[in-house]
Amino acid sequence: MAMTLGRPKALISYLLVFAFFGFIYTFWSVGYTPSIPAASGLHDVLTAHAAITTPVADQLLLPGANARHPPNLCEQHQDTGKISVVLMTGATEALETLSTQLVTSLRCVKEPLIFSDLEQRLGSHAIHDVLANVSAETMDRNRDFDIYRKQHELVASGRENELRLLGDLPVPVTGLEKYKVLHAIELAWQLQPNRDWYCFVAADTYLSWPNLLAFLEAYDPGESWYFGQPVRTLEGSTGLPPIQSGAGFILSGRLVRDWNMQATALATRWDGRVDSTWPADYVLAAALHEELRVPVTDATPMLQTENPAMVAFGLENWCKPVVTMDKLDPRQLDRMYQIELALNGSLLLFKDFHAASHHTGYPFKRDDWDNRADDAEHAIDVVPNNMEEAKGQWEPKDLVDPHQSYMSCELACIQNGACFQFGFTTTTNFSNAMTATTTARCYLSRVFRLGELREPVGPSEGRPWTTVRKSGWRSDRIAKWVTENRTCPF
């Protein structure tokens, strides 16, 4: 009997011991949060728990941000119904970025207009077919509309999930863009008439709502304004410069009203004039110039057509606001929004964008890489190196000519205090079957940007040459300049 009574007592003892050690294990593994060393400056995440519970915006410590996080960004920058924001997209891409756009850059816009080449719906938002009013005559005689017709066929047959595959067709879907732009202006007026401003952006373009409001405060919507980023050439803007559509464009209410009241049926009249080779940017500039005599007003760099890796940083834009940023995927769109939240009410400047996007600094050298040091707009004259001032590894006299080698080009950048980055290209021409000729060029730049991968292409039929690119940065000089310019004089 004693043995029988002893068994429950032993079992209870075992359970108590097991529970005790289980509690200790649970406390140790769950209750304890290991520390993560804090990074300097930007990402000050103290614990693993903080990393997964703290909003991204609160992890970004940006210089110049207000000390206290505002309760709501949209409360600070309210939509009063005076600005019409139009998001231009296409059926093959509409659902890829729209959801992200509506909860990030367009979060504060009460009634954004979404224009596409197919009528659809996303939640409570209507997606309007901006080409619905194009005449059948224009469509029938134009191969640009093959994709438009195919889209409607897919929807009618219940195969809407195949829309994204149309981007692979021989006739690019971008061929429709030049017809969309003029009809978009008329449809925006029809749906939201008498607004002070009409802002048009692409589906992959981030729009800073607070900066847009601040930018437009300086201008009178009762005058005719057409803001954009003109296409630049080596000689400067042409007499009739088209704009970079990816950067977006802004029209004043007066201009859109005149468009719809004075230049009646403008879009329809121009449908038959649009040449198949014209880009949408040129169609808009030409129509505004001819019909209403309104030129483009350069809003560079606030309206920015470059993607983050290709943005050039320097004195010209460092303390200027970012109104649009182009070529962003959903992850990057959210990143831009988190940067704005982290600023706690301060305007998003290029320096802030740089702090959040390039906090790891720049490499010293990358092969098969293009940092666009050959950009003529920011070029520095390349002069022979001063070998008397060169020391150590720069001793060889054949480094006098910066175009001689990558090393001599690097030395040229070091000896020029205004140089932040450089590029060295080598082009080999095989047009002569007997001998190949090689030409090398050194480029110096007074701005800094990361750039992109550019692997050698060619030689091939019709292109008997190949170009190899190498890029270099004065990373220490850039870091010093960024530190010295952490704040802006306002």
Same structural domain for residues 379 and 246? no
Nearest to 478 by CA among 397, 417, 426, 407: 417
Same structural domain for residues 135 and 253? yes
- Residue numbers of the domain that contains 128: 80-304
Q: What single letter denotes the amino acid at residue 412? A: A
Same structural domain for residues 146 and 237? yes
Domain C-terminal end among 304, 319, 344: 304
Q: How far apart are the C-alpha atoms of 77 and 213, rounded to whole Å?
A: 8
pLDDT 10s digits, 151-171: 888 888 888 777 777 766 655
Q: Could you count the other beta carbons within 10 Å of the beta carbon of residue 146? A: 17
Same structural domain for residues 90 and 161? yes
Domain C-terminal end among 285, 304, 323: 304
Same structural domain for residues 218 and 87? yes
Same structural domain for residues 89 and 211? yes
Q: Look at residue 375 and tell me if it is in a domain.
A: yes
Q: Look at residue 40 and tell me if it is in a domain.
A: no
Q: Is the peptide bond before 489 cis (omega within 30 degrees of 0)?
A: no
Q: Look at residue 433 and tell me if it is in a domain.
A: yes
Highest mean pLDDT among 1-15, 95-109, 180-194: 180-194
H or E element: which one contains 56? Answer: helix 56-59
Phi, psi of 145 (to 5 degrees): -95, 5
Domain C-terminal end among 268, 289, 304: 304
Q: Look at residue 62 and tell me if it is in a domain.
A: no
Least confident segment among 37-51, 205-219, 329-343, 406-420 = 37-51
**DSSP SS3 for 20:** helix
Same structural domain for residues 278 and 373? no
Does the pLDDT of residue 324 top 90, yes or no? yes
Q: What is the pLDDT of residue 155?
A: 85
Q: Look at residue 64 and tell me if it is in a domain.
A: no
Q: What is the pLDDT of residue 34?
A: 32
CATH number of the domain encompassing residue 126: 3.90.550
Same structural domain for residues 300 and 370? no
Q: Is the Cβ–Cβ distance between 84 and 197 less than 8 Å?
A: yes
Q: What is the pLDDT of residue 276?
A: 63
Q: Is the peptide bond before 384 cis (omega within 30 degrees of 0)?
A: no
pLDDT 10s digits, 55-100: 455 545 455 444 444 448 888 899 999 999 999 998 877 677 888 9
Q: Look at residue 254 and tell me if it is in a domain.
A: yes
Domain count, the chain: 2
Q: How far apart are the C-alpha atoms of 489 and 431, rounded to whole Å?
A: 55
CA distances from 15 to 22, 25, 27, 73, 276 (A): 10, 15, 18, 54, 82
Nearest to 213 by CA among 317, 342, 82: 82
Same structural domain for residues 172 and 245? yes
Say which residue, 319 or 41, is predicted with more confidence.
319
Q: What is the pLDDT of residue 229?
A: 85
Q: Look at residue 441 and tell me if it is in a domain.
A: yes
Nearest to 343 by CA among 132, 56, 122: 56
Does the pLDDT of residue 145 top 90, yes or no? no
Q: Look at residue 434 and tell me if it is in a domain.
A: yes
How confident is residue 141, by pLDDT bands cut at 50, 70 and 90?
A: confident
Same structural domain for residues 237 and 379? no
